[in-house]
Amino acid sequence: MHSVLPVGDPAPADGLLPLSGAVSSVGRDFGLYVHVPFCRVRCGYCDFNTYTATELRGAKQSDYSSQAIEEMRFAAGVLEASGVDQRMLSTVFFGGGTPTLLPASQLVDMLHAARDIWGLAPDAEITTEANPDSVDAAYLQTLADAGFTRVSFGMQSAVPSVLATLERTHDPERIPDVVRWAKDAGVQVSLDLIYGTPGETIDDWQRSLDAVLVNEPDHVSAYALIVEDGTKLARQIRSGVVAEPSDDLQADMYERADAVLASAGYDWYEVSNWSRDASTRSRHNLGYWVGNDWWGIGPGSHSYVGDTRWWNVKHPAAYAQRIAAGESPAAGRETIDGDIRELERILLLARVRGALPVRTLAPEARQEVAGLIADGLIDGPAAIRGSLDLTLKGRLLADAVVRRLT
């Protein structure tokens, strides 16, 4: 959840959704995102809505789980009053921040509250993000016993100097331990990487990829470092303390990751994500990309139900005040009309392998497909079978592909 909120329409205090939202939600899965906005330290590259202990100003970390549960109850009331059909949760995702800074019992309490309010689908995917230095074997076993099925570790790099530039505090030597503990507890494991850090070489990146493969996770995410305005890293680049990331080097790193992971049996299913098979994909994140509904709990969280998108107030203290008053914590919202919905549909589905049928494109967009194949951006055989799938080159130029289709 990024720290800068969009500009939208005022959100009503009762949170009620437009009547059109109930119709638009029919047939869509429903997921829950719980944002835990706490971090032990603030990483220099991070633009997410997170707070260290000294930044809470009146909010208490110890009160957060009960506030989140209150928003869940509020959400259920809003959905019912708005005429949205009751649906079990297909996925639950605890993100941050660092969710595992909270005691395991509080994550369990929030999960059990969500289960009691909505119910969990029999095959529900339950994920938490975790920093490698924030969990131990007992913590992970507690989560697994409560129904968590997946943990996503913020590994970022195996190279100490790269982690230092990112201001990540964990010891890379701890990765094998946390992966083993999670597997012993019976949960799936994702390792999340960042590439293109200032000063990172292609050999550094290969070292991180090798470390991933040694640990044999079920899933790998690899994201290019983006320098966000307002972050410490952006200020360091402007002042010349560190070099700006190289687009060409990041492209080389992406190609290296795809080759290394493919050779080890991981298939890409979204531009930045690889899994061993369909059963180990992040179903929660796929829900975002394919346009399912979700309710975002917590400060700065975003939600999307029917044709309405909204976002909560940013600061934990402001969030706590809204929750205590029984009011919607939403700061603003927008209704997604047909043109925006189609643009976003193509923008998101094009990133997912096998998700965008060619037949669903507008006639003028379908006329672009042959040219995209000729330019090596779209897989020809897949297009003949009816699916618009990016090639490796197309993944590197995904935004350009979308512009041609919209």
Q: For each of the domains in the chain, give its residue range(s) and CATH number, in order of start.
A: 19-335 (3.30.750.200), 338-405 (1.10.10)
Cis peptide before 97 (omega within 30 of 0): yes
- Give the pLDDT of residue 319: 98
Edge-to-edge strands, sheet with 89-96: 267-270, 273-275, 219-224, 188-195, 150-156, 120-130, 89-96, 30-36, 293-297, 302-305, 308-312, 330-335
- What does the pLDDT look like over 137-152, one tens digit per residue? 999 999 999 999 999 9
Q: Which two tokens stand for residue 77?
A: 């009331």
Q: Which amino acid is at 155?
A: M
Contacts of 195 (CB under 8 A, 6+ apart): 205, 208, 222, 223, 224, 225, 250, 253, 254, 257
- Give the pLDDT of residue 3: 59
- SS3 for 292? coil
Residue ranges of the chain whose pLDDT lies below 70: 1-4
Contacts 24+ apart (CB under 8 A), 242-250: 242/165, 242/198, 242/199, 243/198, 243/199, 244/198, 245/196, 245/197, 245/198, 246/196, 249/196, 249/202, 250/195, 250/196, 250/224, 250/225
Q: Which two tokens stand for residue 91?
A: 């996925």
Q: Which two tokens stand for residue 98?
A: 């660092």
CB 150, CB 190: distance < 8 Å? yes
Buried b (16+ CB within 10 A) or exposed e, 239-254: eeebeebeeebbbebb
- Give the pLDDT of residue 172: 96
* Cα separation, 232 vs 190, whole angstroms: 27
| C-alpha 51: how far from chain center | 18
* Cα separation, 133 vs 376, whole angstroms: 43
- Give the pLDDT of residue 1: 56
Q: CA angle 130-289-385, nearest 5°?
A: 130
Q: Which residue is it, tokens 């967009």? A: 365
- Give the pLDDT of residue 295: 98
- What does the pLDDT look like over 226-270, one tens digit per residue? 988 888 998 998 998 888 999 999 999 999 999 999 999 999 999
- Give the pLDDT of residue 7: 76
Q: Which residue is it, tokens 């994920």? A: 127
- What does the pLDDT look like over 164-184, one tens digit per residue? 999 999 999 999 999 999 999
